[in-house]
Amino acid sequence: MQILFDTSDFPPRWHCGSWTALHGWVHIIADIATGVAYFAIPSLFLLFLRKRKDVVFPALFWLFAAFILSCGTVHFIEASIFWTPWYRLSAFFKVLTATVSIATAIVMVRVMPQAMKIPGLSAMNEALQREIEQRERTEEELHKKNLQLDHFASMASHDLKSPLRAIKNLAEWVREDCKGHLPEASDEHLRLMHDRVEGMEGLLDGLLDFARAGSDVETEWLDLDVEADEAVSLLDVPDGCEIVFGSLPRVRAPRAALRLILRNLISNALKHGGRPDLKIEVRARTQDGVCLLEVADDGVGVPAEASESIFELFTTSRGSSDAHSHGLGLAAVRRTLATMGGTVTLSADTKEGATFLVSFPMIDDSALVSA
């Protein structure tokens, strides 16, 4: 390596020929300026590669950086040769520059066919625009289908509930008219008929909820405690059961969807708690634009093996004490949250009872999609 820095065989460039000060300094300043630029350019390349991990053909960028750095080094050496004639060092870096240049050219030839296949920015913009238009058409069509489904579900529910309501009323009238005259078994049969009809009405309500899940996407700022109160007011809470609300924040969500989530989770706890003195607690907080909601009870809990299956249609847990439970509520909750970009899970950390964890982003309705 020492021979590269041996200058004994050559005079400084100032002494080679008839250099004027102007002519010499033009060469020196030009070489230094070019060298500075040649070092700045690859530095920016490397900074770009460090910030962006999705660069196509990164190896080519590294070769460009090496080629430009070696060129810059040659220019700095050329400027210094006016005082220190290390021509051997200059030759070494010129050979190095030539080698890196040839390697870069070879790699460029190899990647050129792949690079030519990369779509241009205008083509990508056109493809993106077509995709957006297709998505808008799909969402519009989906919205129409949801409206049709909602209308059909409402009509079907009404048409099916009417005869059920008539049967329930007739059973009640017969029991009242024949009170004290019917055999005990017949009276029990009429009571069972009444209960079965109510169960069918509950099933229809659940199916209607599931059909409508996610159809409401218009969001607004809501007081969660008010919505929870409203949800509980629609439920038949047995004496001895206690429902406690923690400090509940304001959240942004579709009103009907939020009420459906709260009503079904609290109703699920009432149906499957398995104890007369059940305590249900509703807690919530917001964090980084996300609502984190918990509905916990101190009931019999849910078997670990059923932690996912309970969210499927017509699936209930072992703790059900309600003959009117049809396994629709949690399925509707999960389907509704999916349209809101949220999730619902059963906590695995609960030692007793069941705790359902709900999270959803508090975003405006333009970001929600109908399911």
What pLDDT, in 10s, does the model give residues 174-192? 878 887 777 888 888 888 8
The rounded percent of the chain whose pLDDT value lies above 70 is 87
Residues 6+ apart with CB under 8 A from 267: 235, 329
Q: In the predicted model, what is the mean pLDDT of residues 348-357?
A: 79
- 46 versus 243: which is more confidently predicted? 243
Counting other chains too, the contacts that 36-43 makes at CB distance below 8 Å and 24 or more residues apart are 36/72, 37/72, 38/68, 38/69, 38/71, 38/72, 38/75, 39/69, 39/72, 41/68, 42/66, 42/68, 42/69
Q: How far is CA 21 from CA 74, 78, 91, 175, 250, in A?
A: 22, 16, 25, 123, 78
* Residues in Cβ contact with 117 at an 8 Å cutoff, skipping those fewer than 6 apart: none
Question: Six-digit token pair at 195?
Answer: 């209960």
What does the pLDDT read at residue 361?
93
Q: Quote the pLDDT of residue 321.
A: 45
Rounded mean pLDDT, 206-231: 78
What's the CA gap between 370 and 339, in Å, rounded? 6
Does residue 330 carry a pLDDT above 80?
A: yes
Is the pLDDT score of 57 beyond 60?
Answer: yes
Beta carbons within 10 angstroms of residue 98's beta carbon = 12
**Mean pLDDT computed over 163-176:** 81
- C-beta atoms surrounding 196 within 10 Å: 16
| Segment 122-147 mean pLDDT | 84
Q: What is the pLDDT of residue 319?
A: 44
| Axis-axis angle for helices 255-272, 184-212 (nearest 10) | 150
246 within 8 A of 282, measured Cβ to Cβ:
yes
Both tokens of 65, joined, read 């950086």
Residue 316 has pLDDT above 70, yes or no: no
116 class by beta-carbon count within 10 Å (0-12 exposed, 13-18 middle, 19+ buried): exposed
- Nearest Cα neighbor of 13 from 69, 72, 79, 75 is 79
Q: Integer distance in angstroms from the first to the last C-alpha of the chain?
A: 72
Give yes or no for a contact between 336 and 260, defined as CB atoms under 8 angstroms apart: yes
- Mean pLDDT throughout 293-312? 86
The pLDDT of residue 320: 47
Write the pLDDT tens digit of every residue in 154-163. 776 667 677 8
Lowest mean pLDDT among 17-31, 141-155, 259-273: 141-155
Average per-residue pLDDT for the chain:
83
What is the value of pTM for the model shown?
0.52
| pLDDT at residue 243 is higher than 50 | yes
- Six-digit token pair at 246? 């923690």
